[in-house]
Amino acid sequence: MSTGRTVLLIGGVDAHLERFKALGVTVVLIQHPDKVTGYQTRAADVLLVVDYTDWDVVRPFAEAARAVYGVDAVVSLTEPGLNPASRLGDLFGLTDGRRHEVSRRMRDKWLMRRHLAERGLPVPHTALVTDRASLDAFGERAGYPFVLKPVSTTAGFGLVRAESPEDLDRVWARVRELDGGRTDRGSTMFTVDGYLMESYIDGPEFSVEALSFAGRHVVVAVTEKLTSEEHFAELGHAVPARLPGADRQRLTAAVEEFLTAMGVTDGPSHTEIRLSSRGPVVIESHNRLGGGNIVELVEAAYGIDMVAYGAAWPLGLTEPLTSPPEAKGAAAMRAVLREPGTVTSVSGVEEVRARPDVLAAQVSVRPGDTVRPLRDNWDRLGSVVVTAGDTDAAVELCERLVREAIRVDVEPAAAAARARAA
């Protein structure tokens, strides 16, 4: 049944649109030309195909849609849509007038660090890259290793780790190569608009998935993350995270304090945090849902559909969560990885996907595709997502399926080069 409500949805994937349609609301979807799907063409009540990352382009279309259809909320659940959606909500008088300011702070890592430091929250040594000499100066002040990251991209794109003073020529060359260009993998909707330097934060990494309701933050899950010191790709996730209750409380308290300090009041958030030797330190955070199948893991383990809450809450169509949920099971994701080279065959995906304990299984490469050296999330070849009674069992099953049941055969890069030379 229709609720009589209309949402202006900025970008997103099919699952986002599905949740709004299930609510019985009218959906005016503004979608980027590169991201339109057949489902969105059929399901959206109104579809406007424009580059919504360009404010001068999206504003007149959004204003026209509001004039014709009426708009009760402007929402985006996807990274590139967060700033335009919050800016439009403020412009239309549908928010407290500060959502865009908050969204900009969350997306711009330099603004985030400055804001937290001004409020006395723990932050690493931080500075902007201005020239080659700024790298030397930062290394002398903060020590080694340190990390360089684009100010406002996502999925680990463009991150570089400086190991020593002798490593800075390589680091500077990589920064110059990427700065000012667009992301070239996964999504090309982000521009590398400057680099930030941060001292390295030690300790195991987690992410905290939360929903905020009028300034009250409810932690839905703490996600255990599998990472490596050799690159910036996330190799897997698992929920509930395997850590003592006291450590979980330290992480959740730090994230609740962080969200309040940043001015986040409503909607989903995904905060990456390390339990360092000096306590919990936020790496970065997003006023959106977590990627890498985290929403599927959370729903399987806790029964909470965070996408549905992200859709219903801004329209006033759901009650807030009153307390963190109790886990009723566990779930895990592991990435499909192979050494660099050329893919020769892919098999086993359909068989794995058909298992009752598998939530999702996919491989994005085909024979003839190139496997690149692993640098960030866009270099992963696929993933498997499973559910089980506890986290140990979920992780063991997922790793076994990725290792033994998914077959991606690759001719190593050196062998391929020799064959071409012959």
How far is 291 from 236, CA to CA, in rounded Å?
11
344 vs 179, 368, 401, CA distance in Å? 34, 6, 20
How far is 347 from 338, CA to CA, in rounded Å?
14
Per-residue pLDDT, 179: 77
Among candidate residues 190, 283, 277, 300, the one with its CA nearest the CA of residue 232: 283
Per-residue pLDDT, 296: 96
Per-residue pLDDT, 182: 53
How far is 124 from 176, CA to CA, in rounded Å?
24
Q: Do the beta carbons of residue 331 and residue 301 sit within 8 Å? A: yes
127 vs 150, 179, 193, CA distance in Å? 12, 16, 15
pLDDT in tens, 277-298: 889 999 999 999 998 899 999 9
Residue 243, amino acid: L
Per-residue pLDDT, 292: 86
Q: pLDDT tens string for the chain (422 positions)?
A: 678 899 999 999 999 999 999 999 999 999 999 999 999 999 999 999 999 999 999 999 999 999 999 999 999 999 999 999 999 999 999 999 999 999 999 989 999 999 999 999 989 999 999 999 999 999 999 999 999 988 876 656 778 889 999 999 999 999 888 876 554 444 555 677 789 999 999 999 999 999 999 999 999 999 999 876 666 677 899 999 999 999 999 999 999 999 999 999 999 999 999 999 889 999 999 999 998 899 999 999 999 999 999 999 999 999 999 999 999 999 999 999 889 999 999 999 999 999 999 999 999 999 999 998 877 777 888 999 999 999 999 999 999 999 999 999 999 976 555 454 44
Q: What is the pTM of this model?
A: 0.89
